[in-house]
Structure 1
Amino acid sequence: MSLNVNIVLCLFICAEVPGIQSFEQVPWLPCQLVDERVKFNDEGHAETQYQHRDAGLQFGHPGDSALNPNTITFLVTGSKVDMRKYIEGAVVEHQLQCEIRRYSTEGIHMRWPGLGAQEHDIWFTCTLRHTDGLFVITSFLRHTPATPTPGQADYRNWAAIADRETLTTSTVMVVLTRSPTVRVGLLKQQSLHCQFDVDHKAADLTVEWRFQRHSEHTTLFSHSSRSGQTQGGGVALKGIGRGDASLMLPLTKQSSEGTYVCFVSVAPLFGRHDIALHILEPPRVSLNVDSTISLVDRGEQKVVCEAEGYYPLDVEIEWFREPSGGGGGLLPEKLDTVLYSSHRHHRDGTYSLSAFFLIHASLHDSGSKYFCRVSHSSLRMPIRKSFTLIVTEFGSWNFVLWWLIFGFILVMVATLCVMLPRLSSARKANKRKPY
């Protein structure tokens, strides 16, 4: 057990130790082998049971002893393709997941054009996944058993693997993406990363991109090195020659949201990565009042918080009130008198929503702070907009002012009452009598 711990510690810190320059020099990776046990029921249907078994990737030479003899060891030797060189940045233990699975060539039996390959080779896939979504790397491991397995080496007839067995393998192909999940706004250019590496010059290479949205499937790009035919666009052919199959999307719109699938095939191997693209447009938040509003005691005012131009629809607007002084450790009070407009859908696919309430001013509310909090999936932190309420007493000056206004209105009404009859009489006097 102590050996295992030391290896794991070395794995995740040795990249920072002087003398070790990159992750490529890491000798061992802890993994999980997801093994399959297939049984056929009375109706002849296959039922698969999955068993998670401790395993490890060990990089070295044929005949090396297992660094951790307590697990299944996949000894990777003599590979021109090294999956480790595609791991970028500092990786700590809990951020890297390694999973090994058996791989079926779906009945295609052919000799891989590599040194020592045989038609009865057994295949595995090894997937390295960063838990924060920085990359997903899938490698194809070729193992040549000492004695061929009778029949087809697929789910119907998997060769058993002992708990402490060492399988000597070679990495023959790697397919990876550094954008397994993409979040982008509207009217933006976005590149979807897809990269591959093969241990020989592949004359039978196929690269394809498909788009999946709801139940619809669309082929965006396809290229075959054997036939030389290319359909669609967005992928540079010169890049494919360097192992870069990244797809450049046109300006994003609401209909760009969906799953993009990168396929890389070199017979009999077939690799793919699904890339989920989400359109996220953050809201613009505003209030219909300034940072400070003044009201007289018992005055009223409607206050509106507006969230505009967001996508998708899942926005939340809340109003809170902080008592004046803000002391005593009191939490802001959520207002329960807030009313909401309906979602307004704009021509560009975005939405808007308003949340409003009516302030009934009182003197003890003076100095209180009100704030609107808007949450949305595009925001790491909610947006806050606030104002402070100042309430003044209805005093003598206000009393005089209101009486002046009231008196002015009375004078105007009295003037109209006097002038209207005179204007009417004058109009009648100016009319000529008919002859």
Structure 2
Amino acid sequence: MRKFVEGPVDRLQCDIHRYSKGMSRVRWPSLGGKEHDIWFTCTLRHTAGLFNITTFLRVTPATAMSAHQPDFLSWLTIGVKEKISASAVMVLMTRSPSVRVGLQKETTLHCQFAVDHKVPHLTVEWHLQQHGWHRTKLFSYSSSTRQTEGSGVAVKGIAGGDASLTVPYTEVSSEGTYVCSVRVPPLNGSVDIALHVIERPRVSLTTEEEQIPRVVCNAEVFYPLDVEIHLFKETSSGQLPEKLEDVTHCSHHKHHDGTYSVTASVRLRPSPQDSGCAMYSCRVSHVSLRGLYIHKSIIGPGCWTWIHLTLPGLVCLIGVIFMFIVLTRRSCCYGNKTVTRR
């Protein structure tokens, strides 16, 4: 297990559970395997989400269990301070237990396994679980029959323990829990990978010149649904931006690809306290921004900024310089002419 572990060991969470084969009497194929072996699973999870590792541990008890009852009815009793020796025979892991990806992207879900004997008879499967218990088979491969169903996994890599799945084009419908299963009789292990589709909003801020002007902030084609929009007003008095309360939020619009758009607007009604021009800003927060936000600003309608004031003057200045150059060249040309008297 150590060769699969990365990062500081103080970030690991370890769980050990008994594992039941039920009524199966299949012997583990490696050296020392017995039909009455008792099994455990040891799962290591990195608390920062770097990996999940599940290892199957084999213990051979001194006495054999009955062949006519499930193995869990004759499990080995372990004392409080008692130690037992176990052999790690199969490891199943993922380095992508949780994946965040945007729309129309290609992403690879990592799944790797290792077995303690060569050329095991194994079956690899991938399923997508959505909306409760609804499961869709995406891929399957059997080493005994060499048959393959589905796509996304490089069959050549399975022999080396790589069962990673490639999702070529992500959509909203790609979201869910992907389950990588590896079966080597009598063991059946799996790892879950949560795929989250995250698309950041496209934000625009405009003014609409109506009888009562308004500022409109649009957040478009984002996913998932929840988004927060706040509008602010800042005057030339140097005070902190004022959060506007009288904001109208339109209902979310759902697009055909599953993304959403929403609009927030505020009507500009001047008050006696207003002096000079105002700047309006829109602040949009969404899960795709990881605690940050998108900020857009715009000058209020009817305001003259330094751009408006200097742009005409700049145009006039360029015209004057151009005319000065033209007249200077003309005067030079006339001054250099040779006058011939008859």
Counterpart CA distance in 2 for 1:325 and 1:109 is 83
* Contact 1:300-1:360 at 8 Å conserved across structures: yes
In the alignment, the residues of structure 2 paired with residue 262 and residue 106 of structure 1 have an alpha-carbon distance, to the nearest angstrom, of: 22
- Which of 181, 192, 212 lines up with 1:263 in the alignment? 181
Counterpart pick for 2:30 among 114, 130, 137: 114
1:385 has 2:299 as partner: no
Which whole-Å CA distance do the structure 2 matches of 1:135 and 1:104 have between them? 25
Contact 1:362 1:391 in 2 (8 A): no
Structure-1 separation of matches of 2:141 and 2:238: 65
**d(CA) in 2 for partners of 1:117, 1:179:** 32
- CA-to-aligned-CA distance 1:7-60 (integer Å, 9 cap, x gap): xxxxxxxxxxxxxxxxxxxxxxxxxxxxxxxxxxxxxxxxxxxxxxxxxxxxxx
Aligned length: 299
Shift of 1:91: 1.9
Q: Give the CA deviation at 1:385.
A: 1.8
The one-letter amino acid of 2:36's match is H
Offset at 1:262? Answer: 0.7
Alignment partner of 1:276: what SS? Answer: strand
Specify the alignment match of 1:145 in structure 2.
Answer: 61
Q: 1:308 to 1:97 in 2, by over 3 A?
A: same
Shift of 1:286: 1.2
2:332 is matched with none
Q: Which residue of 2 aligns with 1:238?
A: 156
Equivalent residue number for residue 20 of structure 2: 104
Letter in structure 1 aligned against 2:267? L
- Asked if 1 retains the 8 angstrom alpha-carbon contact of 2:206 and 2:298, the reply is no
Q: Which amino acid aligns with 2:54?
A: T
Q: Aligned to 2:215, which of 303, 307, 310?
A: 303
Partner of 2:88: 171
Distance 1:159 1:323, change over 3 A: farther
Give distance in 1, aligned partners of 2:21 and 2:238: 68
| Alpha-carbon distance in 2 for matches of 1:315, 1:376 | 5
Contact 2:207–2:301 (Cα < 8 Å) also in 1: no
Residue 351, structure 1, aligned to residue 260, structure 2: yes
Q: Any conservation in 2 of the 1:103–1:154 contact (CA below 8 Å)?
A: no
The gaps in structure 1 that reach 5 residues or longer are 1-82, 291-298, 393-435
Question: Where does residue 6 of structure 1 map in the other structure?
Answer: none
Q: TM-score, normalised by structure 2?
A: 0.79
**After the TM superposition, which residues 16-415 of structure 1 pair with which residues of structure 2 at under 5 Å, given as runs?**
83-88=1-6, 90-93=7-10, 95-148=11-64, 154-214=71-131, 215-289=133-207, 301-321=213-233, 333-362=242-271, 364-365=273-274, 366=276, 370-380=280-290, 381-387=292-298
SS of the residue 2:30 aligns to? coil
> Which sits farther off after the overlay, 382-391 or 177-186?
382-391
Q: What CA distance in whole angstroms lies between the structure 2 residues aligned with 1:275 and 1:153?
A: 31
The percentage of aligned residue pairs carrying the same residue is 57
| Shift in CA distance, 390/232, structure 1 to aligned 2, threshold 3 Å | closer
The answer to whether the 8 A contact 1:122-1:153 is kept is: no
Could you list the per-position Cα deviations for residues 189-239 of structure 1 after superposition, in whole angstroms to 9, with x for gaps in the alignment? 111111100000243110011122225322111111111111111111110
